Amino acid sequence: MTPRKIIIDTDPGQDDAFAILLALGSPEDVDVLGITAVAGNVPLNWTERNARIVCELAGRADIKVYAGCDRPLKRKLVTAEHVHGKTGLDGPVMVEPTMALQPGHAVDFIIDTLRREPAGTVTLCPLGPLTNIATAFQKAPDVVERIQQIVLMGGGCFEGGNITPVAEFNIFVDPEAADIVFRAGVPLVVMPLDVTHKALTTKARVAAFRALGTNVGRVAAEWADFFERFDKEKYGSEGAPLHDPCVIAWLIRPELFTGRRVNVTVEVQSELTMGQTVTDWWGVTDRAPNALFMGGIDADGFFALLTERLGRL
Ligand code: RIB
Ligand code: CA
């Protein structure tokens, strides 16, 4: 099977880093056309740096990394240093990247790539706020129908929110951008907190990263050790949820996940529920389904895949 052509749009973030490594460790499954950084977990100057660090960690300084939007469409940027640390990749000491950032804006790379590649052959994989994606749609509406699929991490249904009682971080940071993307009519696959909160870095799973005996395995374990503090304290969970690599794992082994096609609509009016992904799980409205919304994961299968692919780097 030919590898699926993807663009990873990301705000690294330790969990984004796992997703990028999983993709780069799976060349027979995914062909990473480029990585576009967006402001989110940490400001853009850190997310674009971090994306390059992760590519070099994977031995892939050839990957094109672009800097994108440094703030949401309308709102003030909200970041998550309390979860990811000041750099966004706290835990192990990371060396500064030597590979160059690509010239040009990430949004233009997304537009140009979608116009150049045959229609219906490129999948967008947003792992952060949807600002770059929505900006591309506003600047070049013609590219929307050329997208094969958008497979994103964001939102929540029964799990509620992680930055407000009802909103998940990626959607909350730029709800207007999320609203544009969810209404665009592109085939959507959504990996919400309902799934990612079941993908926890338990001690045994982190030990499996370390047991790889590689630099990547060591760094992955140290990211997990740092990244779990917030969720363990807040949820009392055993480990941290590895949100973003669920997106890439779905591309490689969709059978690890279960979900259903439902309508997902983003709250952009009420400050009380701003950024909530209102998910019609039981089909009680006349709103047409617009997303394959995931609810279940084979967590052991997911970590076995992730660890095996990390082991290749
Ligand atoms: O809410 C979790 C999401 O927000 C993840 O993508 C994490 O990296 C942050 O971007
Ligand atoms: Ca992210």
Question: What domains appear along the chain, each with residue ranges and CATH number?
Answer: 4-310 (3.90.245.10)
| Mean pLDDT, range 233-261, rounded to an integer | 94
List all residues whose CB is within 6 A of at least one atom of ligand 1: 11, 13, 15-16, 40-41, 127-128, 153, 162, 168-170, 243-244
Give the model's pLDDT for residue 227: 86
From 9, 10, 15, the mutation candidate for ligand 1 (largest count of ligand atoms within 8 A of CB) is: 15
**Percent of the chain residues topping a pLDDT of 70:** 100
Q: What is the pTM of this model?
A: 0.98
Q: What is the pLDDT of residues 147-192, one digit of tens each?
A: 999 999 999 999 999 999 999 999 999 999 999 999 999 999 999 9
Residue 211 Cα to ligand 1 midpoint, Å, equals 26
Atom of ligand 1 minimally distant from the CA of 80: 9
Categorize the per-residue pLDDT at 236 as very low, low, confident or very high, splitting at 50, 70 and 90: confident
**Nearest-CA neighbor of 82 among 231, 257, 240, 247?**
231
90 contacts 226 by C-beta, under 8 angstroms: yes
Atom of ligand 1 minimally distant from the CA of 16: 8
Residue 166: both structure tokens together = 């009802």
Mean pLDDT, the chain, as a whole number? 97
CA 73 to chain centre: 19
Residue minimizing CA distance to atom 1 of ligand 1: 169
From 8, 9, 10, 11, the mutation candidate for ligand 1 (largest count of ligand atoms within 8 A of CB) is: 11
Residue minimizing CA distance to atom 10 of ligand 1: 128
Q: What residue type is 115 in one-letter code?
A: R
For residue 237, is pLDDT > 80?
Answer: no
Residue 173: both structure tokens together = 């940071």
Those residues whose C-beta lies under 8 Å from the C-beta of residue 100, and which sit 6 or more positions away, are: none
Give the model's pLDDT for residue 238: 82
Residue 205: both structure tokens together = 């799973």
Residue 171 has, within 13 A of its CA and on its CB side, a CA count of 33
**DSSP one-letter code for 273:** T
Those residues whose C-beta lies under 8 Å from the C-beta of residue 197, and which sit 6 or more positions away, are: 159, 235, 237, 241
Atom of ligand 1 minimally distant from the CA of 170: 4
Atom of ligand 1 minimally distant from the CA of 12: 8
Give the model's pLDDT for residue 231: 79
Q: What is the pLDDT of residues 203-212, one digit of tens each?
A: 999 999 999 9
For residue 129, is pLDDT > 90?
Answer: yes
Categorize the per-residue pLDDT at 45 as very low, low, confident or very high, splitting at 50, 70 and 90: very high
Give the model's pLDDT for residue 232: 79
Categorize the per-residue pLDDT at 9 as very low, low, confident or very high, splitting at 50, 70 and 90: very high
Give the model's pLDDT for residue 144: 98
Residue 102 Cα to ligand 2 midpoint, Å, equals 21
Residue 286 Cα to ligand 1 midpoint, Å, equals 30
